[in-house]
Amino acid sequence: MTFRYECLHQDKHCQARLGRLHTPRGIVDLPTFMPVGTRGSVKGLTIEMVQQTGAQIILGNTYHLALRPGEEIVAALGGLHEFTGWSGPILTDSGGFQVFSLEKLNKIDEQGVVFRSAIDGRLVHLTPERSMEIQQQLGSDIAMVLDHVPPLPSTPAVIADACQRSLRWAARCLQVPPKSEQVLFGIVQGGLDVGLRKMCAEELVAMDFPGYAIGGLSVGEAPTDMYRTIAATTPHLPLEKPRYLMGVGTPTDLLEAIGLGIDMFDCVMPTRNGRNAMVFTHQGSLRLKNQKHSRDRRPLDEQLPTPYSHYSRGYLRHLFLAGEMLGPILASFHNLAYYADLMRLAREAIAADCYLDFVAQQKSNWRQPGADLG
C-alpha cells in the first residue's frame, strides 16, 4: 500500500473533513490524534495499552532519539517500529521544536543549528540533511522537514527571517534522496502574520510535499490568535493532501481546528496532565486530588468504557495521594482514550453534516456542574 490521502466527506457547514490516510503500515481515520512517544515510549504506558486507547498512529521525537539511544542503535534493532513494538504508522518530528525550546542553548545559522546535548554536554550539529538522515535511520513512515520555530512574540523581522529560512531548509530536505516508502511533510511557518503564512504555504505547495503541517503555534499566543492563523492558512493548502497542526492541544483546540480543516494532531497534554492527576471527560475536566472525589464510586467517564473504567474516581484519587505509580498510568491511559473517542465522535459528526452542532454540544457538556474545570 502506498501513501495517499483520501477525503471521504466535508461537512456542508464548515471546513471539517472526514478522511483516511493510507500508509504502508495501515489506514488512519481522520481527523486523528497522535499520542507522543518522545523517546520511543508513550510515557507510562506499554505499547499494548496505547493500542487499547484506539490510537492508530504515534509520534516519535528525532532530537531525543538521536541523543539517546542514538539513531544507529534504533536502526540496528530493526527501526522504530520493531524497537518500540508498534506495528502501525509512526510520524517523527524533525527536531525543530526542540531548537525553539532550547533557544538559550543553541546557535542558529543558515547551515543549521548547533547546541549542547542535555545528556552529556557534547556539541550537536543539526542540519536539514542531518535531520533527514536521522529520520531515515529511525524508519518512520512520515518524516518532517527541519524548520526554524521563532518564539512568540518576536519582531516582524525575526518572524520573517525564520519563515524564509524554514523554506530554504525545506528545499534542502527535499534534496535528500528518500529511503524506502517514507514520505516527507512540509511545515508552514510565519508566526501570527497571516501574510507570511499565506506566502509560506504557497511556496511549500509549489514544492509538492505529500502532506503539510502548520507549525509554530500553541507556544504562548492567545487561542483566538491561533485559530485566526489556522483559518488564514488552510485555504492555501491542497484539498487533496493531509493537514497536520503540530503540538496542539486542548480538546477545545482540537475541535476548533478540525472545523478549520485540520486532519492530524499531536500533543503531550493528555499524558502530562494525566501524570499530574488531571483527566479529561465528556462532562468536563477533573482534578483527581480534590477531596470531593474521595468517596466517588463512579468511573472517570461513564460515556467512555475502557478496559480500566471499572476503577473508581475514589480509587484513583487514593493512588495519587499515596504516590502509587498506577495512578498516573491509569489517568494517562484514560486521557489518550478520551482524545481518541473525541476524534471518533468528530468523524461521526462530520459524516452527518452536523459538526458545528456537535462542537456546541461538547462545549455545553464541559460547562455542566460537577466538572472541576471548564
**Which sequence positions are flagged as catalytic?**
93, 266
Residue 76 · residue 51 · CB < 8 Å? no
Longest dimension (CA), the chain: 61
For residues 164 and 20, what is the distance between their CA atoms, to the nearest angstrom? 32
Return phi, psi of residue 275, to 5°.
-65, -20
Q: What stretches of the chain show up as alpha helix (H) in DSSP? A: 47-52, 62-67, 71-76, 79-84, 96-101, 128-138, 156-175, 194-207, 223-233, 251-259, 269-275, 313-321, 326-351, 355-366
Of 328, 319, 338, nearest in space to 274 by CA: 328
Of 285, 368, 369, 353, nearest in space to 17 by CA: 353
Assess whether the previous peptide bond of 259 is cis (omega < 30° from 0). no
For residues 139 and 83, what is the distance between their CA atoms, to the nearest angstrom? 10
Residue 296 · residue 276 · CB < 8 Å? no
373 secondary structure, DSSP code: B
For the chain, the straight-line distance linking the first and the last C-alpha, in angstroms and rounded, comes to 43
